[in-house]
Amino acid sequence: MSLYAIGDLHLHFQAELKNKAQLTDPLWRDHERRFMENCRRMITPQDTLVLVGDHSWGRKMAECRQDFDYIRALPGRKILLRGNHDMFWDTNKTAALNEQFQGELFFLQNNYAAYGDIALVGTKGYTFEGPFYLNRRGQVVGWDEDAEAQAAKLVEREAARLRLSCEAARRDGYRRFILFLHYPPTSILEKESAFTRIAEIYHAEQVIYAHCHGASRFHDSLLGVHRGIRYSLVSGDYLQWEPRLIV
C-alpha cells in the first residue's frame, strides 16, 4: 500500500484550452498518455493517488465529463483537491460531488481522508503572487501592497478551512497528518505563512503542493525539510508526469 501525489493535470478532452503554451511546450506534449502509462506502471489498486488540483479546463461539470472519465480510469483510490482553475467545483457543494462520485473519487475540502493511521487533510490554499517590481538584475525591490492585502484575506480564509479540517481529524483520534495545498505554502517573499504554522501546530509530517509551472517557478516556495516537515512540489510538469511517492 503506497500513497502517491501529483497536481495540475489541466485536462481538456472537451473544454477549450486556455493556456496555449500547453500545446507547444514539449513537457506537456501528449501528457495525458504519458501520465496514464506512468500510473499504470507504478500504482496498484491498493494504492492511493492524491490529485493536487487544476484537474480540468472545463468551467462546468458538463465540460469536464471526459476529463472525469480519464481520472476515474486511473488505477488506485483517487482523492482530489481543489485548484484555482477547477471552476466545476463549488466549495459549498463538495458534499454533493462526494455523493455523485461515491465509491470512485473523493473530494478533499472541509473534511479529511484516512490513509492508515494518517489523516490526509487539504484545501486550495492561497499565496501572494504579485505584481512584484524588479530591478534590472531581476531582484524584487517592491510589490503591489493592495494586492498583497487582498491576498492576506484569502490566505486567512483558506487557513481557517485547513484548521477546521485538521480539527475534524484530530477529534476522530488522528495524530498523524499530511497536508495538501494546491497553492505553494509561502510566497516568494516568505519563509513561513499561516499554512506552515498550521503544519507545525499539528506536527504534520509532510506538506504537498502544486500550482507552480515552468522551471522559473519550481523554486518559488519551500522544498525539502524545514523545521522537521518535508515540503514537496508535485505539479505534473515538475514531475514530468510521474506521480511522486509520498508514503
- Contact positions vs Fe ion (CB under 5 A): 8, 54, 83-84, 211
Helix axes 65-73 and 31-42, enclosed angle (nearest 10): 30
Terminal-to-terminal C-alpha distance of the chain: 9
Which letter, b or e, does each residue of 30-61 get, where b requires 16 or more Cβ atoms within 10 Å of its Cβ?
A: ebbebbeebbeebbeeebbbbbbbbbbbbeeb
- Nearest approach, Cβ of 116 to Fe ion (angstroms)? 29
Complex with Fe ion: residue 76 or 83, whichever CB lies closer: 83
| Residues in Cβ contact with 74 at an 8 Å cutoff, skipping those fewer than 6 apart | 36, 39, 43, 49
- Nearest approach, Cβ of 10 to Fe ion (angstroms)? 6
- Nearest approach, Cβ of 9 to Fe ion (angstroms)? 9
- Nearest approach, Cβ of 53 to Fe ion (angstroms)? 6
User: How far is the C-alpha of 78 from the C-alpha of 71, rounded, in Å?
Assistant: 8
- Nearest approach, Cβ of 54 to Fe ion (angstroms)? 3
Residue nearest to Fe ion (CB): 54
Amino acid at 230: R
Complex with Fe ion: residue 78 or 211, whichever CB lies closer: 211
- Whether residue 126 contacts residue 184, with contact meaning beta carbons closer than 8 Å, is answered with no
Complex with Fe ion: residue 86 or 143, whichever CB lies closer: 86
Complex with Fe ion: residue 57 or 174, whichever CB lies closer: 57
- Nearest approach, Cβ of 226 to Fe ion (angstroms)? 22
User: How far is the C-alpha of 213 from the C-alpha of 236, rounded, in Å?
Assistant: 8
- Nearest approach, Cβ of 15 to Fe ion (angstroms)? 14
User: How far is the C-alpha of 196 from the C-alpha of 211, rounded, in Å?
Assistant: 17
User: How far is the C-alpha of 152 from the C-alpha of 9, rounded, in Å?
Assistant: 27
Complex with Fe ion: residue 84 or 150, whichever CB lies closer: 84
96: Cα within 13 Å, side-chain hemisphere: 7
Complex with Fe ion: residue 127 or 202, whichever CB lies closer: 127
Complex with Fe ion: residue 107 or 202, whichever CB lies closer: 107
